[in-house]
Chain A
């Protein structure tokens, strides 16, 4: 039995070109120990340890070690470390912190570099900003190791489906502090953060037609931007925030248009096809727009220049691919989208240059509407009937649920400003 199990698994993996084991432990992830603080403000310490552990575990570069394995005497060590004790539990990095009612001090150690911290930060605590301070620290740690900014402290917008209506919500990327953005009793769908993060565009039926509104990301009364007869849906901002690509059906079949973000005037019609063209996604370099079209049969992902011209198909796996979104990683052309495979909906990424596909979800419910984190290392998506999840964008690890409920239309906002 043992042999058949082993060989069956080995050959199946080798033959499956695009299938990546999403549960596989990523090679080269950096083992980091995050012991909690044992002195100072211990109530705050519990929350700090929990927020920090969550951030590090979803950063896409760390393996957070089990606190149960720790051998060090945390009381004696305080903010310092005995490197051998951490080496013995397999840690390459250790973070110590101490919270007092006024301050929050963090120290990052590299075990190979001994008992001197490689990064130290002290933040002033004020009111209830503790979680945000931990996110800022976590961004520093990610930057120290990768040279890239982290995405901690960013926000995710999504649609919450009710029985009769649906609302636009936003929350911290880790699911904390969800609040209603749309604040009306109508149907509101498809939120999109502006590049600055200050505004959210969404489609609302509050005047009985699917019109496009832009409102403050914090909520409040939105401004009607586009209200042509028929669809005004699927907004995607240009990287400079001055324009919005969306689907309009004012001239018959739904096509992709570019409008002014300020007054909604049509700047350009990008597609003109009898088929349905929808779900535009503006590339981070501003040059092109991905969208969905069923012009060749089932829905597939196409690419068109932001200045117009012929569109070309870029997705060729399966017969059903929708809701494209771009990775913000500089110098890369990576699109994530929803694909139907064996009756289920899953998230995949496609590198347009290398044509490499990576599976982000597999065998766990129906997963739809992906959106990349601001640094491109993670992907948020909706799992039907379950909530909002985030997963590593390289297909490793397991997706983590950050919000429970009936969610759809996920959009991950830009990096937070310090």
Chain B
């Protein structure tokens, strides 16, 4: 109808951001964030890893997984089966397109990956992993512990 076929039109000097936005939507972007102040009421122990500081730790939408594999969205327990619907219909996620994830440090890798897969299926574009604030020496200690007991998860 009004589609311009090029050649006779004026030169368009504006940057076409549409492809960029599309690429952003396809990639699931993951960040690690330290959030000392975050309080969703879910009792869990976060991995201690140095990461960038979260600027506004309050008021983010957080997905929490505790050590018993129970999953919480905004501090409200949901079932794993409902998780995808809860995420895909969430208007806040559509607006902010950032999901903050905190998972207990003792959790199996598989649980966290499953949550990520569900989030991705639900259209979440960006996942931020929350860690506990730690200094460099503590990380060194932790690395030492892992070398001492390969294949073991840390228990507390």
Contact = CB atoms under 8 A, between A and B. Distances in A.
Nearest to A8: B3
Contacts of A12: 2-3
Interface string B42-86: 000000000000000001010000000000011110100000011
Contacts of B18: 6-7, 9-10
Contact of A90 (B1, B19, B23, B93): B93
Specify which of B21, B26, B74, B93 lies most central, judged by the most chain A CB atoms within 10 Å of its CB.
B74
Chain B interface size, as a band, is 20 to 34
A297 interface: no
B68 to A, nearest CB: 20
Contacts, number: 79
Interface stretch (A81-89, A231-239, A244-252): A81-89
B94 interface: yes
**Per DSSP, are chain B's interface residues mostly helix, strand or loop, or mixed?**
mixed
B110 to A, nearest CB: 25
Contacts of A353: none
B92 A88 contact: yes
Given A5-B22, A6-B18, 16 more contacts: A2-B19, A6-B19, A6-B22, A10-B18, A11-B3, A16-B2, A31-B91, A65-B89, A68-B85, A69-B86, A71-B74, A71-B76, A88-B90, A88-B92, A89-B74, A342-B1
Interface of B: 1-4, 9, 12, 16, 18-19, 21-23, 26, 59, 61, 73-76, 78, 85-86, 89-95
20 contacts: A2-B22, A2-B26, A5-B22, A6-B18, A10-B16, A10-B18, A11-B16, A15-B9, A19-B2, A31-B91, A66-B89, A69-B85, A71-B86, A72-B76, A84-B74, A88-B92, A89-B91, A90-B94, A91-B91, A342-B1
Interface of A: 2-3, 5-12, 15-17, 19, 31, 63, 65-66, 68-69, 71-73, 84-85, 87-91, 342
